[in-house]
Structure formats: structure tokens, C-alpha cells
Structure 1
Amino acid sequence: MKCEGCGAQIQHESEKKPGYIPLDVFTKRISEGKQVLCQRCFRARHYGKLEPVRISKDFLHELSRIVDDFERIIWVLDITDFEGSYDPFLIDILRNKEKIIVVNKIDLLPRAVSIQEIKDWVLKRLEIERIEEIFLTSTLRTYGIRKLASQLGNFRKVLFVGVTNVGKSSLVRALTGADLSITPFPGTTLGLIKARMQGTTIFDTPGLVTEHRIIDLLPAECQKRIVAQKHLSRMTFKPENNKTFFIGGMCRFDIQFATEFLPIFQVFAGQGVKFHLTDSKKADELWERQYGKLLVPPCTPKQPSFQSLNWREEEFDLDVGEELAIAGLGWLSIRRGPLRIKVKIPEKITVKKRIALVNPYRGGMSDE
């Protein structure tokens, strides 16, 4: 028997493993005909507490084997973290599969970005073939759910895949009404969960942990704090030369430029992420002293500690209409340039220079 919230196999032996529920509690809920939730899901729903559980790497290999068993693969991407959710592992295993791309959380973008602009931007960023269609969705606003449901109704058996925290389970619940565990914590789903939508059977999968996003380096409580829930934070900066800009404590930009006019850039990230601009001469001392304090994430100085991370540096030349995205954290968008910056981040984190997604001079988002 599996947990009806996260899909983990029910077991009574170890609290540290997925699917644990005390035997007496399990027996009582069965006898009373109540929903069976593992202890982890019960605490997440009723107390807002999620115990961390690492997804077995065996599931990644299992996913490669089972994708051929489904008529369509529904690959869910997060528009607020496109570089983090467009994972190379999934690109490889889904490249020649029949798939539908769902771009979720579009309600978190500024209304200056139109639906058509989002779709055009995503099409330019995709590097894979055999895409049947792209759907833009928001479970918060229920945008795009009806159209997606109509499309999925053409198939008997579909599989939802994606990295953690893209909103797969929220989409499955919106489509089917299934009582899945939906929490603000990444990685809530731990096993395959089956739900019905009229004649279509939908399977939800555990979110994949990429280790190429900032949030993948953080504990669950900190991830919950920094991931955008209702909107993105946006701030505009007009820095002078020899300034250092921090997006939290895990992403540092040293600004260099030689133009007549000062550059202007905007930064987009979750509400819990802290921005800070300082003189480059003070940056080293401030970074270590305020890491995990003024500079969030991380949410504490020790998870992870400054000294435990391997840091790398990259330089980028950016101009108007370009952005620099930090996977699992946010992005910097150039409003006046050019601008040269040196980025310092943890070693494996993806940093991507890309064409701008957000342009404040364009039309707003229309209703479905």
C-alpha cells in the first residue's frame, strides 16, 4: 500500500525512510476507513513541517525505463526558474519521446509580459524535438488548466515529469481533484501517484533533484522561504563603477564597465531572497560576515557554510535586452548597458546568459 499523499510505499519500521506510519495509527485509520497518509505527509499538511528525504538515484534510471510505457510525457517547467527546471538529464531521456511542454507559474511574472511573448520566448529556448504543444499554466489563477485538460483527454495514460518545485502535483490536483500532498516544500512527492481525469489516467512522479540549482544546496525549510509563492521580488539598480552586488550570500556580482552612462539593471527573485549593493573594497569582509544573515540564502551561516562550498568565477558581457539567470535563485535583466560583470557562485550551479524574458514596455497578460 502507498501513501495517498506522496506515493511512498507505506512501512512501519523506520521514521527516517519514506512512507513511515506507526502501525497502530495505520491500523486505526484503515479500520475507520480514513485516508492513509505517511507521518511525513501528515505533519506537512497539518503542521507545516516537512522532514527531508533524499530521492533514490535508482528512480532516475527507472524513469528512463518507464517513459516508453506512456502515450504522452507531460514535462512541467517553471517559468520563474527556466534554467533550473530545463534539466539536461530530462532533455536527454525525453528527446525522442512524444511530449507536451507545460510552463507553469506564469502568474508570478510581471503583467508587462504577454502570453504570446512567454510562449515565443520558451520556443526559442527549447533545444528538443517532437513537442506536440506548449501550454502556459497557473494553478493559483487556474489559467490554462481547462485547455490542458482538454488536450490530455485525448490519451488514456500520461506521465508528469519535472524537477522539484515546478508545481507538478498542484497541476495534477487541479486537473483531477486528487487529494495529493501539496506543500510549499520542494520534493513532497516521493513515488509514482496515479490519479484519474475522466478517461485519462495521470501519473505524477517525484521531482528530480538536479544539484545544479541554488535551492538544491539548501535544506527544505530554507527552500520554502526563498522560492516565490505569490509574486517575484523585483528591484532596480544603477550602480557606479567598482561596486559589488549580492543576490543573497551564494551569488556575487563584481561590476565592471567603461561607458559614458551608468548601467541600469533589474533583479528578479523570490520574496525571501535579499539583495545588497556595496563598495567592492568592502565586499570580501561583508560577504563572510553577513553570509546567511543579511545575505539570504542561505538562511543560516552553516547550511551550507561558506567554507564548505567550492566557488567558481565567470565573466559576462551583457547589454540591453539580455539577462543573466542563476538556476534556482533568480535573474538579472539589463535595462541600460553595456555591462561587464564577474560572477562568483558555487561550482556546479548553472549560470546562463539569455535573451530577455521581461520587457516593461510590452503589453500585459490577458485572461484566458
Structure 2
Amino acid sequence: MTEQTLGSCAGCGIAIQTEDAKKPGYAPESALGRKVVICQRCYRIKHYNEVAPVGMGDDDFLKILDGIGSTQSLVVMVVDIFDFQGSWLRGLPRFVGKNPILLVGNKVDLLPKNINLNRVRNWMQHEAKERGLRPEDIVLISAQKGLHIDELLNRIGELRKGRDVYIVGVTNVGKSTMINRILHDYGAAELEITTSPFPGTTLDKIEIPLEDGRSIYDTPGIINRDQIGHMVSPADLRKITPKSRINSKVYQLEAGQTLFLGGLARIDFVRGSKQPFVVYVDNDLYIHRTKLEKADEVMEKHHGTLLVPPTGEEAAKALPPFVKHSFKVTQSQMSTDIVISGLGWVTIQGKYEANVVVHAPKGVSVGMRRGLI
């Protein structure tokens, strides 16, 4: 039996093969008689929460997305609201051509309970415009909780106008979870797509037929390597990935104080009046406050032990060296977020000026934006 006749893995989309267990797409011949066939890698992710590296690079993923512009399709771009900057798919117009785009903000269930969702939509509209994207509409959902899936399906139905639908986004934004939610809610649960917190789970396009002869395509996630999650172990990635609604933590800081976000980032309040720093990170992430003059000593002595994650001194040594990012927050009527890609953000209210220095591993994107909350 040749690879061409075996079809594709229902979990990640890769072509099934039975010849080499070390290559992507391997499944034992005994699995081929099942109604839904998944590769060994997907089986181990699903049942044992294990992840195995595959020999696919960024170019392989980009080639899969490159053909979208030549199709007549609706493109649904999914972003992680909690990590908007880190989950933004850069260069999207190059892939989609003239096709319309529906922007979906996933993981709305992680935001504080009292947040105004219309404000979040307006904020996303502003941020998208700043990045050169003008979506047809914005829908906020929680794929994990099943929130607002009906609204999403209605907008897809209105905007696609009989065309195929391509779901795109970077790794770990919840594309496959979103599609699984649609499949479960609308009667095709046996087609479940493999999901995990690890990047690169979907390896090829996965086609889901629609009643009118068209299809929804789940595409592989592009890896944004400036997210901090790509620099930590799978165990530590789970520790910094929010699993429930974020509870903000407020620190009244004076100039000359430092906050450590675990052992993954450090925020120095260098100059300014006493003011609140509001931290939005995973609820279980350890935050340590100290004097700026002692920060270097604390880092050297406790990185990987008190300051975790990274968990363990070896994991701490494996991180790239920290680099400094300096910011001046001017007095304003609006709040400002300082964002550390893949970890979270700190909000400064704007009532006072502030000079802030953020230390983060080299390669991690750190920047300022208009306050989300």
C-alpha cells in the first residue's frame, strides 16, 4: 500500500505512511482499518500529552499558506486576545490577496469578568488598522468554553458567500480547538482535530467538507519565534499559559523598585511618582518584588529556584541572555500596556509619567500599546 492511497491524518493533516515510525505521518498498519485514522504522533499527543518534534520548518508552513491568495475564499484569522501581539500573523495580505478577512479574537474567557467586550472589539479594530489590516468584521469567542460560536458561524455564513473558508493563525491561538467546537456542536465529532499547547501540532491543511460542496480548511500555525513560550520547556509552557480567567495583580510601586515575573522577565521602575502597576499574567505565575539596587543579585542567586519558571538551574541557564528594553510612559488620559510576548502585560494608568526598563530573554518581543483594559 503506497502513501498516496493511505489518505491524511484526521488530527494534523499530514499524509499517512506506514514505513518509518521516525517520520511524520507514521501509523501502524493495524490502525488503517479504523473509521478515523490518526498518525502515531497525534495519538500520543491526545492520549499521553506527549509532543514529538517533526522535521518541518517555517518554509514548509509558509508554502502551505501561499496558495490562499489564488483562491476565492473567506479568510478567518484567529488571534489570542491574551497575547494579541505575539499571535498576530504578520504579512497576512501577502497570503490572502484580495480575499475578505474575518478577524476572530479567541480566549475571551481569560479576560477579567467586568471588561466591556465592545471596547475590546474597538481596541482590536484599532490595533489591526495599525498593522495595515482592515477586516470585514471582528468576532470574540472562547473556543474552549464554546462562547459566541453561533455568532461566529453566522458571520462566516454571511461573509463567505458560497466560497471556501480558510482558518489561519500562528501556533497555539486555538484554531483547531475552534474547529473542533464547531464539529462537536454541529454533528461531526468523529473528525476531531488534534490540539495541544505545543507549537506545530497541525502539519498540513485539514479539509472539512460543507453541505454546499465547499470546504473549511484548517491550516498549520505559523511559528512566531519572538514569543517566550518557544524558549521554555513543555512543562514550563503549561505553567505560563493561562487556563482560567486572569485575576489582575496591582502593585503600588515607587521609583527604584523591581518586579520579577517568575524568572522570565524583570520590570524596573526607574523614575516617576508612586503609582500602580497592574500585572496581567497567568494566575499561578510567581511575582517577586524587590529593590532595584538588589535586582541583579536576586536574579543571579535565585534564577530557576525562587524565580520560576524556568524550573531548575539548568533550564535557567538554557534561556537566552536577558536584554533591556527602555520605555517612557507619558502622562495621558489613557492607560498604556507594556507587553512581553507570550507572557502577558503590565498596565500603567497614565496619570503620571514613568520610566520603565524591561529585561527579557533575547529574541522575545517587548513593546508598548494602547491599554486594552
Coarse TM-score class (shorter-chain normalised): 0.7 to 0.9
Deviates more, 1:88-97 or 1:204-213: 88-97
In structure 2, the partner of 1:50 is 51
The question of 1:131 aligning with 2:131 is answered: no
2:260 to 246, 259, 265: 246
Where do 1:10-21 residues align within 5 Å? 10-21=16-27
The question of 1:354 aligning with 2:361 is answered: no
Change (3 A) 1:291 1:196: farther
Change (3 A) 1:221 1:3: farther
Distance apart, 1:91 and its partner CA: 5.7
In structure 2, the partner of 1:364 is none
Partner of 2:217, secondary structure, is: strand
Partner of 2:17, secondary structure, is: coil
- Give the RMSD, CA atoms, in angstroms: 2.3
Deviations 1:45-95 (A, max 9, x none): 212222233642222133123343241111101100001011324365447
In structure 2, the partner of 1:277 is 289
The question of 1:158 aligning with 2:165 is answered: yes
In structure 2, the partner of 1:79 is 81
Unpaired stretches in structure 2, ≥5 consecutive residues: 1-6, 185-190
Quick one: which amino acid aligns to residue 227 of structure 1? T
2:30 to 28, 32, 46: 28
Quick one: which amino acid aligns to residue 6 of structure 1? C
CA contact (8 A) 2:254 2:272 kept: no
1:68 to 70, 74, 92: 70
Supply the distance in 2 between the matched residues of 1:52 and 1:300 (Cα, whole angstroms).
Answer: 23
Supply the distance in 2 between the matched residues of 1:95 and 1:325 (Cα, whole angstroms).
Answer: 30
1:299 to 299, 311, 315: 311
Partner of 1:147, secondary structure, is: helix
Quick one: which amino acid aligns to residue 254 of structure 2? E
CA contact (8 A) 1:264 1:337 kept: no
Distance apart, 1:229 and its partner CA: 1.8
Change (3 A) 1:303 1:201: farther
Kindly tell me the number of residue pairs found equivalent between the two proteins: 350
The question of 1:7 aligning with 2:7 is answered: no
Identity %: 32
Supply the distance in 2 between the matched residues of 1:40 and 1:207 (Cα, whole angstroms).
Answer: 17
The question of 1:333 aligning with 2:350 is answered: no
In structure 2, the partner of 1:362 is none
CA contact (8 A) 1:100 1:131 kept: yes
Distance apart, 1:250 and its partner CA: 2.3
Distance apart, 1:13 and its partner CA: 4.2
The question of 1:115 aligning with 2:128 is answered: no
Q: Which has the higher contact order (CA 8 A, sep 6+)?
A: 1
Quick one: which amino acid aligns to residue 203 of structure 1? Y
Change (3 A) 1:130 1:117: closer
TM-score by length of 2: 0.86
